[in-house]
């Protein structure tokens, strides 16, 4: 019985921390109801079990919320589902990288790619950006430590990106001869 009381107290504390994030996220038009927050935490519990991970304290959910709340690709309509998916991706890649990377480094990397290369596409973030990054980390890549995970993707990106200069030259040739 005492053990159940402690678990309930911890769950209530986690719920309070997630709800408290509304003080910051509301300025971006994002607000979680108590039911939304509970759903996110329930999914967190499921994902932790699925990924065979244990987490102490408040967990990663508040950090994910604060890292991504100012995203151009998250609005109230997709907020809850995006946070749930981001936490699934986070735990998956913590395992894939054998916990070689800190939570902050992984979150910074995720956010930067989500906003830039991925344009808000969670499948591309998970299946391409993080897949390539995790392969590099497992192979011994550690340069991300100095930058806390920022500005690292270009080092091993296999996809040729737009070249503005070349694009502009092509447009000039097409329209101005």
Model confidence band, residue 107 (pLDDT cutoffs 50, 70, 90): very high
Model confidence band, residue 125 (pLDDT cutoffs 50, 70, 90): very high
The reported pLDDT for the residue numbered 11 is 67
- Count each helix (H run) and each strand (E run) in the chain, helices first: 10, 0
CA separation for the pair 68, 44 (Å, rounded): 17
Say if CB 152 and CB 163 are below 8 A apart: no
What's CA 130's distance to the chain center, in Å?
A: 10
Contacts of residue 36, Cβ cutoff 8 Å, sequence gap at least 6? 79, 80
The reported pLDDT for the residue numbered 1 is 46
The yes-or-no verdict on residue 62 having pLDDT over 80 is yes
Question: What does the pLDDT average to over 127-140?
Answer: 91
The yes-or-no verdict on residue 17 having pLDDT over 90 is no
Q: What is the dihedral of CA 21, 81, 120, 71, to 10 degrees?
A: -10
The yes-or-no verdict on residue 79 having pLDDT over 50 is yes
Helix/strand/coil for 102: coil
The reported pLDDT for the residue numbered 47 is 86
Tell me which residue has tokens 């609005």.
Answer: 75
Model confidence band, residue 8 (pLDDT cutoffs 50, 70, 90): low
pTM: 0.82
Which range is least confidently modeled, 18-32, 95-109, 132-146? 132-146
Say if CB 90 and CB 105 are below 8 A apart: no
């Amino acid at each position: 019985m005492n053990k159940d009381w402690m678990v309930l107290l911890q769950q209530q504390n986690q719920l309070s921390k997630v709800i408290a994030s509304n003080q910051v996220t509301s300025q971006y038009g994002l607000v979680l109801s108590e039911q939304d927050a509970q759903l996110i935490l329930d999914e967190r519990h499921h994902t932790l079990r699925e990924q065979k991970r244990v987490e102490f304290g408040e967990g990663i959910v508040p950090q994910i919320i604060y890292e991504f709340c100012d995203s151009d690709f998250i609005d109230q309509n997709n907020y809850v589902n995006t946070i749930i998916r981001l936490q699934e991706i986070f735990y998956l890649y913590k395992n894939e990288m054998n916990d070689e990377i800190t939570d902050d480094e992984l979150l910074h990397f995720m956010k930067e790619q989500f906003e830039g290369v991925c344009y808000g596409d969670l499948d591309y973030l998970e299946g391409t950006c993080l897949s390539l990054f995790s392969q590099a980390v497992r192979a011994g890549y550690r340069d991300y430590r100095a930058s806390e995970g920022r500005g690292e993707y270009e080092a091993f990106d296999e996809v040729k990106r737009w070249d503005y200069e070349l694009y502009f030259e092509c447009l000039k040739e097409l329209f101005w001869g």
